[in-house]
Structure 1
Amino acid sequence: MTYRYRVATVFLAGFFIDCINIFMSAIALPDISRQLQVSESSVAWVANSYILGLTLIIPLSAWIASHWGARLTMMVSMVVFSAGALFTGLSSEFSGLITFRFIQGIGGGLLIPVGQALTFGLFGKDERARISTLVMAVALIAPAISPAAGGAIVDHLSWRWVFLCNIPFSLVTAGLAMCWIKSEKTRAQRPDIAGLLLVSLALTALLLGMSLYASAASALLPLSLLAIGLLFAVLYVRHYRRKATPILDLSVLGNPRMRFSVLVYYAVPGIFTGVNLLNIFFLQQVLGWGASETGMLMMLYAGGSFCAMTLCGRLYNRVGAARLFLLGLCCHAAGIAMLALVSAQLSLPLLTLAYLLMGIGGGIGANTAQTTAMIDFEGEQLARASTIWNLNRQMSFSVGAALFTLLFNLLQQHTTSTAAYHRAFLIAAVLGVLPLLQLMSLKTPSESLCDQKER
């Protein structure tokens, strides 16, 4: 195996572990909620605290790698991840579980941006569609097997083993990084600590505000947190404009392909994360499904995604990103809308078709976004774009879960639980096609290359 494929293997292994960690833990949330006696909105912090750990460390990853080297950075990443998973699984209180999930996020957040920048830097632009297909294949396999496996673990063992079972995979990845990655160091500027603090405070306040809004005795606290989050976001934008080397280089969002791909990630994986979380609670608490049965639905999603990604890898350079985005977003939204028709009398056929459509649409949309987002960047700018992209990818999962948990809780105050779930799914379907309003601003890859030659 050549060096660049060894690097890609370590990166993809870390990415696989990250995806497993997100989708497998979602299946366990109803059991965690019952056993630790926390609400549905509060239990979403099992994911949110992990995202906050990622948020803190992802912008620092390039600087850490410049001092430690890629090999040590990627190896330590998986060791910290393993320690976080161990203590999360052993936690007896919800506060401890959330703390160790935060530590686990710090571990996971180191490997992925460093590994992605290193991998994409070793492959030319004409080869990145192939690598993006491999990335999305991992993003397909992990959701396919982890919910079903997680459901079986929850039903036959305990939700704790959902976290503990990650440890062997992360330790093997740490060993591969030690053996396969070269120890050379890159050059990176001193990190922007003030910017990092503003970004972390903004995200923390926004997620806290959304998760507390529906269950708070008064709306004053959650609304204040949302306002504070927006204030910190505005302060970061001002800080970014004055800072020569900001922690997050927002200039990469000036690229229309990156900007549109970011929107698509919120509309597809982000919305799907929230919708799937609601559907897990709906099936287990309203329709009485078991965790194993619920997890098996992701096999259908994976089947649709596999077909879609196979198609994308062959058609991307022929038909262009715009047409693929149109097809993907429409299929994904149609699948979500079908969930609004699921009832005790008619569940399995509709769920089968819904998850197949969401898988096809999600596979097309996410794979196309992964390729399109990075297609215009090289060298140091690629590393900055990779940081933005990976932070956005993780934030989309957390924002999607928090937003739709909030939406469901608000709807539930005015109607039955079943009707609240169904209305939330319909709203999600509408939100999922909103990026199409900006589709005309997207150029094809060939037009992008022509622009670069002219410059």
Structure 2
Amino acid sequence: MTRTHADAPPTEDAFDPALLRLAVAVLMGAIMTILDSTIVNVAINTLGRDFNTSLSTIQWVLTGYLLALSMTIPLTGWVIERFGAKRMWITSLALFIIGSALCGAAWNTTSLIVFRVLQGVGGGLLMPIGQTMLASAAGPRRLGRVMSLISIPAMLAPVLGPVFGGLIVDHLSWRWMFYVNVPFCAAALLLALRWIPADPERRAGGRLDAIGLTLLSPGLAALVYGLSEAGNGSPLTGAKVLGTVGAGVVLLGLFCAHALRKAKGPLLDLRMFRNRGFTTAVTALFVYSGAIFGLTVLLPLYVQIAQGESPLRAGLLVAPFGLGAIVTMAFAGRLADRRGSRGLGIIGIAVAAAACLAYTRIDVTTPQPFLVAVTFVAGLGHGLIVAPLMATLYRTLPRAAVPAATTTANILVRVGSSLGTAVLAVVLQIYIRAEIPGASGSLADAAADRGPGAVDALVRAFAHSFWWTAGLAALALVPALMLPRPAPDAEERPTSK
């Protein structure tokens, strides 16, 4: 019988050709979906001007994509069981291609937001399905290295996304930010058809947890929407923020109660949190993601608003973060396979937190080379975190739990990133109002005032905000310090129930 990616893991440590082909196909499909999370950031002002709409409205081009990603991730485990990983990978990639082409052809703000949601529906499933296929094919001996491979798109996004976005906006129409996805993802679709192994025989009678879906997806959507509205300037105590965030919290609480009571086939198996390795690793990733994603949002804003630089220059400042991550990621996975993830995770988080702390020392005389160096150091720490902690998620779980673990981890990382962005946006607005009496908190309004006193006040507001990124990153050390030490026979643990 032909061997598939879901069969027993190979005993050898080296990557076999089949695994390498699978990794290439997954990376080709996933990289553009992650780049689309950052490439549009530098074009928000251009889109608002072209469509003659407000900044708070056009920001839904970003928020709609994020909401769609968050809402589709919970379906991962069920669609893999019901339809098969390869079939759903190809379907999701096709949806992303169609959504990209429609975004490029959008005729107004509403159509662009709707098509971005379609993009997110397709893109939201690609990364967790790809992680599931790779984790199943690699086995426990090679998990660290294979998680390093799947982390490559996440490393490249902060390097290439803002830079490509700035180049396209400066030299071409913004529509090419979406059109460029079509040929690249079409090539990835051909590779997937040839290189992703056929799906094994699927379990008959799999059912979707409809109650869980109607609680979890709207709960996540309401939570992210409320936080994004707070970030856009709605009052924290207003009905829009409190009402939507409160509704999201209630729905998520009801989902947790439902999932714990449901004995068979919950949308997310919360019983996995009884596993110490899974719980500590996913908690560290959740908190750390909020800190580091918030940092990558604050940095371009600081360069554009406080220093008056172009979107391209702002994008170039973020690039050293990804470059530093690539440097340490190159050996982090192999080292995690040999020595365990705990030490690497702790060191990486400590380095990233120290870099965030250095940003609190900025003032109007801070040279850009200092910012570049600190950003590179933050990236060095980041590269030591993601692959080892993702490997820990899987290493202590049975093989049958891998799809559910992938889904849960991806949801929490995205929600953590959303929380970090929204919280830091609110914090920055509060500090701007405190430093510039009478200011509305709008970054666009703040940037319009280029007087010496106003610039000094803006820099102080950003410096105060960076304290929050440092604090969140340091908080991630708490669960990281609780990661279990690897057992001597960790590589021989059972991989099935």
TM-score scaled by length of structure 2? 0.84
Equivalent residue, structure 2, for 1:53: 68
What one-letter code is carried by the residue in structure 2 that aligns with 1:130? Answer: R
Equivalent residue, structure 1, for 2:203: 187
Counterparts of 2:470 and 2:147 in 1: how far apart (Å)? Answer: 26
What one-letter code is carried by the residue in structure 2 that aligns with 1:192? Answer: D
Match of 1:337 among 357, 373, 377: 357
- The answer (yes or no) to whether the contact 1:40–1:405 under 8 Å persists in 2 is no
Counterparts of 1:253 and 1:30 in 2: how far apart (Å)? Answer: 42
Give the C-alpha shift of residue 346 in structure 1: 2.0
Give the C-alpha shift of residue 36 in structure 1: 4.6
1:247 aligns to what SS in structure 2?
A: coil
Equivalent residue, structure 2, for 1:119: 134
Counterparts of 2:311 and 2:459 in 1: how far apart (Å)? Answer: 19
Equivalent residue, structure 2, for 1:272: 292
Stretches of structure 1 that go unaligned for 5 or more consecutive residues are none
Aligned ranges for residues 293-442 of structure 1 at < 5 Å? 293-416=313-436, 417-442=458-483
1:191 aligns to what SS in structure 2?
A: coil
1:18-61 Cα offsets, whole Å, 9 max, x none, are 22111222233343355556666655533332232223322223
- Which piece of structure 1 moves more, 90-99 or 190-199? 90-99
2:385 aligns to what SS in structure 1?
A: helix
Counterparts of 1:28 and 1:289 in 2: how far apart (Å)? Answer: 14
- Which piece of structure 1 moves more, 345-354 or 38-47? 38-47
Give the C-alpha shift of residue 128 in structure 1: 1.0
- Flag the structure with larger Rg: 2
Q: Which structure shows the higher helix fraction?
A: 1
Equivalent residue, structure 2, for 1:251: 271
Counterparts of 2:45 and 2:345 in 1: how far apart (Å)? Answer: 34
- The answer (yes or no) to whether the contact 1:113–1:386 under 8 Å persists in 2 is yes
Counterparts of 2:82 and 2:150 in 1: how far apart (Å)? Answer: 27
2:384 aligns to what SS in structure 1?
A: helix
Give the C-alpha shift of residue 318 in structure 1: 4.8
Give the C-alpha shift of residue 325 in structure 1: 1.9
Equivalent residue, structure 1, for 2:251: 232
2:426 aligns to what SS in structure 1?
A: helix
Give the C-alpha shift of residue 105 in structure 1: 0.9
Match of 2:241 among 199, 215, 222: 222
Compared with structure 1, are the counterparts of its residues 380 and 254 closer, same or farther at alpha carbon in structure 2 (3 Å cutoff)?
same
1:248-268 Cα offsets, whole Å, 9 max, x none, are 112223222222222332333
- The answer (yes or no) to whether the contact 1:55–1:200 under 8 Å persists in 2 is yes
- The answer (yes or no) to whether the contact 1:117–1:383 under 8 Å persists in 2 is yes
- The answer (yes or no) to whether the contact 1:325–1:368 under 8 Å persists in 2 is yes
Question: RMSD of aligned C-alpha atoms?
Answer: 2.6
- Which piece of structure 1 moves more, 43-52 or 195-204? 43-52
Equivalent residue, structure 2, for 1:209: 226
Match of 2:192 among 171, 177, 187: 177
1:131 aligns with 2:181: no
What one-letter code is carried by the residue in structure 2 that aligns with 1:239? Answer: H
What one-letter code is carried by the residue in structure 1 that aligns with 2:469? Answer: A
What one-letter code is carried by the residue in structure 2 that aligns with 1:234? Answer: G
What one-letter code is carried by the residue in structure 2 that aligns with 1:445? Answer: P
Give the C-alpha shift of residue 187 in structure 1: 2.6
1:444 aligns to what SS in structure 2?
A: coil
Counterparts of 2:386 and 2:316 in 1: how far apart (Å)? Answer: 21
- The answer (yes or no) to whether the contact 1:44–1:402 under 8 Å persists in 2 is no
Compared with structure 1, are the counterparts of its residues 44 and 340 closer, same or farther at alpha carbon in structure 2 (3 Å cutoff)?
farther
Equivalent residue, structure 2, for 1:75: 90
Counterparts of 1:448 and 1:81 in 2: how far apart (Å)? Answer: 42
Equivalent residue, structure 1, for 2:102: 87
1:280-310 Cα offsets, whole Å, 9 max, x none, are 1221133111122122223311221122213
Counterparts of 2:285 and 2:50 in 1: how far apart (Å)? Answer: 33
Counterparts of 1:447 and 1:252 in 2: how far apart (Å)? Answer: 23
- The answer (yes or no) to whether the contact 2:284–2:480 under 8 Å persists in 1 is no
- The answer (yes or no) to whether the contact 2:155–2:326 under 8 Å persists in 1 is yes
Counterparts of 1:221 and 1:142 in 2: how far apart (Å)? Answer: 32
1:2 aligns with 2:22: no
Compared with structure 1, are the counterparts of its residues 28 and 367 closer, same or farther at alpha carbon in structure 2 (3 Å cutoff)?
farther
What one-letter code is carried by the residue in structure 2 that aligns with 1:315? Answer: L
What one-letter code is carried by the residue in structure 2 that aligns with 1:289? Answer: E
Counterparts of 2:228 and 2:248 in 1: how far apart (Å)? Answer: 13
Equivalent residue, structure 2, for 1:444: 485
What one-letter code is carried by the residue in structure 2 that aligns with 1:150? Answer: G
- The answer (yes or no) to whether the contact 1:30–1:281 under 8 Å persists in 2 is no
Q: What percent of counterpart residues are identical? A: 28
Compared with structure 1, are the counterparts of its residues 17 and 450 closer, same or farther at alpha carbon in structure 2 (3 Å cutoff)?
closer
Match of 2:121 among 58, 81, 106: 106
Compared with structure 1, are the counterparts of its residues 298 and 74 closer, same or farther at alpha carbon in structure 2 (3 Å cutoff)?
same
Compared with structure 1, are the counterparts of its residues 225 and 241 closer, same or farther at alpha carbon in structure 2 (3 Å cutoff)?
same
Counterparts of 1:279 and 1:43 in 2: how far apart (Å)? Answer: 21
What one-letter code is carried by the residue in structure 1 that aligns with 2:64? Answer: S
Moved beyond 4 Å, runs of 4+ = 33-44, 450-453
TM-score scaled by length of structure 1? 0.91
1:445 aligns to what SS in structure 2?
A: coil
